[in-house]
Amino acid sequence: MRAASTTDPPLMQMRLERVWPNNPKRHHDQPMNTVSQLPTKQAQSALPQYPAHTQEVGITLQRGGVCPIMEKGVTVERALELALHNPLSRQTETLLLEASRGRILGKQLSSKVDDPRFDNSAMDGFAVIASDCVNIGAELTIVGTSQTGGALPPRITTGEACRIMTGAPLPEGADAIVMIEETEVNGDQVIINGPARTGYIRKRAENLSIGQEALPTGTLLSSASIALAGTMGHGEIEAIKKPRIAILSTGDELVQPGTELEAGQIYESNSHALASLVESMGCEAVRYESANDSMDELRTTLDSLSDCDAILTSGGVSMGEWDIVRKIMEEEGDISFWRIKLRPGGPPLFGTWNGTPLFGLPGNPVSSLVVFHVLVAPWIAKSLGYHPEMGPRLSQKVSVKLEENVSGAPGKVCLRRIRIRSENGQLLATTHTHQGSGNMHSMVAHNGLTLLPPDTDGKAGEVIDALWLQ
């Protein structure tokens, strides 16, 4: 920790007084959303150590008036609202179209051209005048050819036809196309054996007109949307710059998969799930080696993450003595909430470490995942302005009919794992395997989560809200 001294420049003294008047425990000396100015170890050890607070609200974590108290046991909606006081910062960059797959549009795209650019044929065949072809067997004179990319075709008049390729411009005078399969060529004559269809003409601008917005800001660029950007004439796009999100598991017991386990150790899995979720949300995941349950180690690691735009930790946010993420955030960070009315996934916290937004996710593997789905993903989406339908989404809110009873949770939204399937136009939900918050297998065996309101059980046959996980 670094205290203001008489040698500090006046501005720094003023800032310290203004931002953290009542929090002598914190070791950071920059206001939020600024680059960190790291403390010296010597300065930290010179400061008194205070126990973590235990009050419900009204704690002395001052945050420049943005969120002066920590709230406990909040609803998911309130948690999101509080977290959005510290959104991810949104920046954009210009990318070549070929490098844009999976990126998110930072600026809407309007068409530079009409699509189609000109009336053209949807079929290989003959461009004709429909009234010449009412009788099967009508004979017309071939006056030219309309090819894609070629010179403009000749105008046709009554009794004439023009060969035409798919996509080639419709000759002036023509108002219908006869498919090549329904014609017979005899020298410079063509015999019409099938209908002349106006529907085989693709009209200029029937898909898009110049200036029309077709890809809104916040669209996830899929193969189809990239192709559409190309159709509209855009060789470059403005994409949302991927925020770097640090992922840090905590726990003395954690060992990376693929190595030997010693007594009491388990394989670390949360960071892998979180990294993949972060990437699916259009961000860059920066996975770190898991930290031990040591305040000093955690502090050093958190301080080293200043080049990241947000931090996700897992583990160590409950009530216990070893729950050091909660402890260090209480004592040295800024917390805006701790604990959510959610089951599973009750213990998370959100705050800032040295100005960087930090979600302290629970250690239980299922809990950390579901909290990402219901809280972190919407925070990313809202921070970066993702389009609600066309942006990256990990889940979709749907109505499902329960096939069996599922119990809710007192005072909490209950996220029971369910298997959703579609039958006769209705979504049906069943549950399998046991639902412990450490049972990752259950997250694979299921593909959805109930959204049972607090104190509400779900009965077989009832239609309830659920999240369908993508």
- Which residues are near ligand AMP by CB under 6 A? 249, 251, 253-254, 266, 268-271, 314-316, 318, 362-365, 438
Residue 433: CB minimum distance to ligand AMP, A: 18
Closest by Cα among 370, 377, 314 to 340: 370
Q: Which does 249 bind (CB under 5 to 8 A by kind): ligand AMP, Mg ion, none?
A: ligand AMP
What does the alpha-carbon distance between residue 142 and residue 316 come to, in Å, rounded to a whole number?
Answer: 81
What does the alpha-carbon distance between residue 94 and residue 104 come to, in Å, rounded to a whole number?
Answer: 11
Per-residue contact flags (x/-) with Mg ion for residues 352 to 371, judged by CB under 5 A: -----------x--------
Using the minimum distance from each CB to Mg ion, give the nearer residue, 315 or 333: 315
Helix axis angle, 324-332 relative to 295-303, nearest 10°? 60
Q: Please, which residues have CB within 8 angstroms of residue 258's CB and are 6 or more apart in sequence?
A: none
- 24 torsion bin: left (phi>0), alpha (psi -120 to 50), beta (else): alpha
Using the minimum distance from each CB to ligand AMP, give the nearer residue, 356 or 364: 364
Residue 289: CB minimum distance to ligand AMP, A: 11
Using the minimum distance from each CB to Mg ion, give the nearer residue, 266 or 463: 266
Number of residue whose CB is nearest ligand AMP: 363
Touching Mg ion, residues 226-255 (CB under 5 A)? 251
Residue 272: CB minimum distance to ligand AMP, A: 8
Residue 271: CB minimum distance to ligand AMP, A: 6
* Beta bridge partners of residue 359, listed in sequence order: 312, 350
Closest by Cα among 393, 401, 398, 399 to 374: 393
93 C-beta neighbours (distance < 10 Å), count: 12
Residue 298: CB minimum distance to ligand AMP, A: 12
Q: Which does 362 bind (CB under 5 to 8 A by kind): Mg ion, ligand AMP, none?
A: ligand AMP
Rg from Cα positions in the chain: 31
Using the minimum distance from each CB to ligand AMP, give the nearer residue, 214 or 443: 443
Contact 400, 434 (CB under 8 A): no
Using the minimum distance from each CB to ligand AMP, give the nearer residue, 215 or 275: 275
Using the minimum distance from each CB to ligand AMP, give the nearer residue, 234 or 417: 417
Cα distances from 243 to residues 34, 93, 279, in angstroms, run 16, 12, 10
What is the CB-side half-sphere exposure of residue 237 using CA atoms within 13 A? Answer: 34
What does the alpha-carbon distance between residue 297 and residue 312 come to, in Å, rounded to a whole number?
Answer: 16
Using the minimum distance from each CB to ligand AMP, give the nearer residue, 159 or 436: 436
Touching Mg ion, residues 292-351 (CB under 5 A)? 315-316
198 C-beta neighbours (distance < 10 Å), count: 12
Residue 325: CB minimum distance to Mg ion, A: 9
Residue 266: CB minimum distance to ligand AMP, A: 5
Q: Which does 269 bind (CB under 5 to 8 A by kind): ligand AMP, Mg ion, none?
A: ligand AMP
What does the alpha-carbon distance between residue 265 and residue 267 come to, in Å, rounded to a whole number?
Answer: 7
Closest by Cα among 415, 423, 422 to 458: 415
DSSP, res 208: B
Q: Which does 182 bind (CB under 5 to 8 A by kind): Mg ion, ligand AMP, none?
A: none
* Beta bridge partners of residue 146, listed in sequence order: 164
Residue 403: CB minimum distance to Mg ion, A: 36
Q: Which does 334 bind (CB under 5 to 8 A by kind): Mg ion, ligand AMP, none?
A: none
404 C-beta neighbours (distance < 10 Å), count: 12
What does the alpha-carbon distance between residue 220 and residue 393 come to, in Å, rounded to a whole number?
Answer: 9
Q: Which does 318 bind (CB under 5 to 8 A by kind): Mg ion, ligand AMP, none?
A: ligand AMP
Q: Which does 344 bind (CB under 5 to 8 A by kind): Mg ion, ligand AMP, none?
A: none
Q: Which does 266 bind (CB under 5 to 8 A by kind): ligand AMP, Mg ion, none?
A: ligand AMP
Beta strands in 44-96 (DSSP E): 71-74, 92-96
Using the minimum distance from each CB to ligand AMP, give the nearer residue, 185 or 319: 319
For Mg ion (CB under 5 A), the number of binding residues is 4
What does the alpha-carbon distance between residue 74 and residue 325 come to, in Å, rounded to a whole number?
Answer: 19
Using the minimum distance from each CB to ligand AMP, give the nearer residue, 363 or 392: 363
Touching Mg ion, residues 271-290 (CB under 5 A)? none
And the tokens for 49? 């150590």
User: Residue 118: helix, strand or coil by DSSP?
Assistant: coil
Residue type at 354 in one-letter notation: N
Residue 277: CB minimum distance to ligand AMP, A: 14
Using the minimum distance from each CB to Mg ion, give the nearer residue, 370 or 464: 370
Residue 14: CB minimum distance to Mg ion, A: 40
And the tokens for 161? 């036809």
Which residues of this protein are in contact with Mg ion, per CB under 5 A? 251, 315-316, 363
